[in-house]
Amino acid sequence: MKYYLILDIGGTKTSGALFTEDGKIVEDYVHVSPSKTFLGEEAVYQNTKDVLVHIINHFSLEMEDVLGIGVGSPGPLDAEKGIIIHAPLMGWRNFPIVERLEADFGKKVLLDNDGNLGALAEVRMGVAKGLQNVIYMTVSTGCGGGIVVNGQVYRGSSFGAGEVGHMSIMPEGLTCPCGSVGCFELYASGTAINNRLLIDMEKGIQSKAFDLAEHKAENLNGKVLNKAAELGDAYALEVYRKEGYYLGIGIANQFNFFNPQTIVLGGGVTKAKKFFHETLMETLKQRCIQPIDDGSVRYSIMNDRVVLYGAYCLIKEYTDKTY
Ligand SMILES: [Zn+2]
């Protein structure tokens, strides 16, 4: 048996898994380790490397049985040069992750960003399998994305395509850390929802969500909001209706611009899809030039593992072509 070592580097946690040649996670085992951010460039790298070492030891793997290593990381990065250009949480600036991993493990390493790998995973193995023109968008802390055109990931001229979170939807809106104003993710991400909850709780608005959070700011999150919505809480349902509306605006822009066959949504916020899906679809139908139907929006079922699957597809397609 031959295998692929797969790594998903994140700002808070880094995950590793061993994949079979045909894309199954061996023993359904994913090793997750805190990313040890802020410890400096080298310590963070060692920690990242240790995730792979852990997988190798866990399976008593012989390196001759490893066909290659696929790595997903937040951008901005240069996939061709294998460099992470800027990852503030990791202390990495122009960090040559591919060169380092290739030197340490003696295997071909390929790198791409979360959004691109999410898109790749969905069109190769996920709910958009076999489709040619697809956008993948994750709605979690921020909103990231990836674009597949004619069956291939479209990366842009400097690997910067798919930054859907920073399309401006409110010209006079909130200021974004990116320097722009009114960015989509300031309205539609999980962080945006949390901020809205905090502001409304401080205003004295009544909701079961705030009761469930014991009126403490640190307890405000998607979980309490979801629970409150399940209980029929009017405020919680309205927050999700707004979420559907903002998502609809951002997604309609993408439909009008790219005319994809479908948009796949992933990320933690989509766990509450039953509360926002209807408003999302209404907003799309109102704003899209081309017809929208039930298949126009799909929800990822790969959840936390989508980047792992994408990184597997990336390295697998490379080695299939090479060997
Ligand atoms: Zn922005």
122 is a domain residue: no
Question: Residue 44 is part of which domain span?
Answer: 3-112+304-322
How many structural domains compose the chain? 2
Residues 167 and 269 in one domain: yes
Angle in degrees, CA 110, 15, 149, rounded to 5:
45
Residues 243 and 107 in one domain: no
User: If you measure from the C-alpha of residue 178 to the centroid of ligand 1, how many angstroms do you get, rounded to a whole number?
Assistant: 4
Per-residue tens of pLDDT for the chain, all 323 residues: 999 999 999 878 999 999 999 999 999 999 999 887 777 888 889 999 999 999 999 999 999 999 999 999 987 899 999 999 988 777 888 999 999 999 999 999 999 999 999 999 999 999 999 999 999 999 998 999 999 999 999 999 988 899 999 999 999 999 998 899 999 999 999 999 999 999 999 999 999 999 999 999 999 999 999 999 999 999 999 999 999 999 999 999 999 999 999 999 999 999 999 999 999 999 999 999 999 999 999 999 998 999 999 999 999 999 998 86
pTM of the model: 0.94
Share of the chain residues as helix, strand and coil, in percent rounded to the nearest 5:
45, 25, 30
Please name the residue ranges forming H helices in 231-305. 234-258, 273-287
Question: Whole-angstrom Cα distance, residue 274 to residue 240?
Answer: 9
Residues 260 and 201 in one domain: yes
CATH number of domain containing 248: 3.30.420.40
Residues 271 and 162 in one domain: yes
Residues 159 and 198 in one domain: yes
User: If you measure from the C-alpha of residue 49 to the centroid of ligand 1, how many angstroms do you get, rounded to a whole number?
Assistant: 31
118 is a domain residue: no
User: If you measure from the C-alpha of residue 164 to the centroid of ligand 1, how many angstroms do you get, rounded to a whole number?
Assistant: 9
Angle in degrees, CA 13, 16, 21, rounded to 5:
150
Q: Tell me how crowded residue 62 is: count the other CB atoms within 10 A of its CB.
A: 9
User: Running DSSP on this structure, what letter comes out for residue 167?
Assistant: S
37 is a domain residue: yes
Residues 22 and 95 in one domain: yes
User: If you measure from the C-alpha of residue 43 to the centroid of ligand 1, how many angstroms do you get, rounded to a whole number?
Assistant: 30
